[in-house]
Amino acid sequence: MRQYLQRRSLVQLGLIGTALMLGACKLGGGGGSSSSPAPDRGYQATIERTTYGIPHITAEDFGGAGYGHGYAIAEDNLCVLADAFVTFRGERSRFFGPDAPASEMSTFGTPPNLEADFFFRFIVNDQQVARFREAQSADVLELLSGFTAGYNRYVREIRDGMHPGRHEACRDEEWLATTTEDDHMRRLVSLNLAASSANWVEEIASAQPPQAAAATRSLMRSAPPQPDIDPERFRLGRKEGIGSNTYAFGSDTTETGRSLLFANPHWYSSGIDRFYQVHMTVPGKMDIFGASIMGSPMVQMGFNNNIAWAHTVSTAYRFTLYQLQLVSGDPTRYVHDGVEKALEAVELTVQVRQEDGSLSPVTRTLYRSVYGPMINLAALGLPAWNEQLAFTLRDVNLENTRAFENFFAWNQAESLNEFFDIIQQQVGIPWVNTTAIGRDDSRALYSDITAVPNVPDSMLAECLAQPLGPIVIQVVPGLPLLDGSRSACDWRTDADSRQPGAFGPSNLPHLFTTDYVANMNDSYWLSNPDQRLTGFDGIIGREDYQQTLRTRLGHIMVRERLAGLDGLPGDRASSENIRKLVLNSRVYSAELLKDDVLDTACTGALTASERQACDILANWDNTGELDAVGAHIWTRFWETVQEQQLNLYATPFDPAQPLDTPAGLNPAISADIRSAFSAAVADLVADGVPLNARLGDLQFFPKPDESIPQFGGEGSEGYFTVLRNSHLHVVDFPEDGPVRGYTLLSGSQSTDPNSPHYADYSKAYSEKQWHALPFTREQIETARISSIEIEE
């Protein structure tokens, strides 16, 4: 069994080891925040916890709400948060040495500590943090100030010996310290960059000019480049699987004739970027429940008594690459509109812990162009920084200071119209699609009105860098490598742009409908298959293209539901049937091709193991439920087929039938299918994995000392129920009652093994026990398991 788990991607299975290198520190060593701790002021909050430890925070003002949130999340996740503050300050090497991974999983990947230190000091520096702070409203700053104070209160309590037995991984370490408001703003800015600069930590931190004596041949005299570019490398998280599912149903498609919403992010199971559930109430101003990405004082995805919303990772690119023409003889100068310009050189020093515990400084000079940081793309097969050219990156979300205001305004929205007005006014959402519904509103909303570089398709003919631009955009559709020698190739600005160089809302996709909208991380194009969104620029997303198996299954499940063909009562969506559908663990690749595969692979001379595998798969119900027998055989076979990049289908993709094509097994690859099947079975046998094993005996949540089985699988295999399911909610608005929300949090609220809420929510998810979220005062009091009042 263990060998089987090791064979599959540990990230895919959510089985990354949880021995996180934990840390936080007081300011030190050259690049940290220079601001003082949060100023003393009065904060007060009541924290009531209900089932699974969910905190319900009541305060008289936004500062108090932040104070309660900061204290509660520190109580549950102190060591993970403290570790993150070390990272975002760029001080990991000081405490943990240069070579260990800076995270086990995160939006910024798993770079070595030293590379992460240089990146965060260079990109999320004090000047950048100050610029973002200055752009925030007084209310957002009040919330942030309270959050900082609440976190610091809990740190002081731990330092004073309170809460014995808790947070043993960090409570006695030298690097556990209080934080500043700038530390928390730095965390927010870093989160803003998840789909852009933070996706390129090592490439930015390692970008260096060539030595003067090591002149390289001119690109124009060299053979045409042969880039080795994996399109997955450009995804948020640098791999398949980080994404989400969402449905929003309008009045025409629900049993009640009132709207309904499902949120289902596929997100990180550990580390700083995991979700935390919180309910914050400031009477008369805000009453919001939802999921906050840890370290954020506001809710990113949730509901109040009037609106509910969800997010999925968008296909739009949030950055572009520029190719610079360098000045002959000086690779730190470039030509822009015929004028020579010097790259900005920034010298940074990081203190690095040595094996004997001493500190030694490491200094590196990093560079910026007028567009942004220099970037080393040699690992993608593109030329290294040489005497003739170099690459630089412009990041729309380093210039987008509105994201936090946008989320915070949503936390207080009172109608779907107001919610959409905020979208259009701010255009601040950094990298996700949004679906939403409202009380007494018949419509469902889909929106990718977000911060996107304004690079219309009309620019590309004249502005793709030569000869590399056409190659890159062919491999990674929608991502332009632009000519950085001419300002004519700078990003455009629309009449309604909310920041220079970004698309205005009128040129970005959205859809209101009384039918339904959905997104499973393909583009905006098929948000509703009968109301397609078309005519948008390629940097936002693709149109008329083959959808993933997960996207197809997501829409097919709705189609079957609305036709009454899924075995459930009725022919409309309801909270009850959607909660069943979304966790059904169907495997669409098996539904499409298993019978054909067995007809091909299970004939002729077979080994005893192959015959057993054939029999098991023939009786398998094509799901990844806990008791499914055969799911792991199909998974190994599918992984083998995908690695071989076979032309699987007999019927090619037809954009007129995007949910039903491609289809059928290509008879021309019969020999390859038999070979892949034999190899998959042989691998399992060699790994000691029983062919007749239950899936629930093979995959578990990443909880040391807790064997919690996990259903589901990979989206690439056609699972809608994905292993990285994290926070989920299903929300509707009964006509004569308060909002009704059912939630799950697969990772549980706390990362502290000694917390009573370390694994309880994970067990509920494993058992598909949706939690009816207490929202009203009466519901909270009935479900309350503890209550404290804190103030300072």
Residues with active-site annotation = 244
The contacts of residue 275 (CB under 8 Å, 6+ apart) are: 265, 267, 291, 292, 293, 294, 726, 727, 745, 747
Measuring CA to CA, which residue among 416, 353, 364 is closest to residue 122? Answer: 364
Q: Are 685 and 678 in contact, with CB atoms under 8 Å apart?
A: no
CA atoms of 336 and 318, how far apart (whole Å):
23
CA atoms of 595 and 321, how far apart (whole Å):
45
Q: Are 63 and 142 in contact, with CB atoms under 8 Å apart?
A: yes
Q: Are 634 and 693 in contact, with CB atoms under 8 Å apart?
A: no
**Parallel/antiparallel/unpaired status of strands 516-519 and 243-249:** antiparallel
B/e letters for 370-393, b = 16+ CB within 10 Å, e = fewer, are bbbbbbbbeebebbbbbbbbbbbb
DSSP-assigned letter for residue 326: E
Instruction: State the DSSP string of 744-788.
Output: EETT-S---TTSTTSSHHHHHHHTT--EE---SHHHHHHH--EEE
DSSP-assigned letter for residue 219: G
How many C-beta atoms surround the C-beta of residue 776 within 10 A? Answer: 13
3-state DSSP assignment of residue 149: helix
Q: Give the number of C-alpha atoms closer than 13 A to the C-alpha of residue 33, restricted to the C-beta side.
A: 23
CA atoms of 20 and 106, how far apart (whole Å):
12
Helix orientation angle between 608-619 and 631-644, rounded to the nearest 10 degrees? 110
- CA pseudo-torsion sign 249, 291, 37, 127: negative
CA 172 to chain CA centroid, nearest Å: 32
The contacts of residue 174 (CB under 8 Å, 6+ apart) are: 25, 95
DSSP-assigned letter for residue 164: T
DSSP-assigned letter for residue 723: T
Measuring CA to CA, which residue among 743, 745, 752 is closest to residue 773? Answer: 743
Helix orientation angle between 631-644 and 588-601, rounded to the nearest 10 degrees? 80
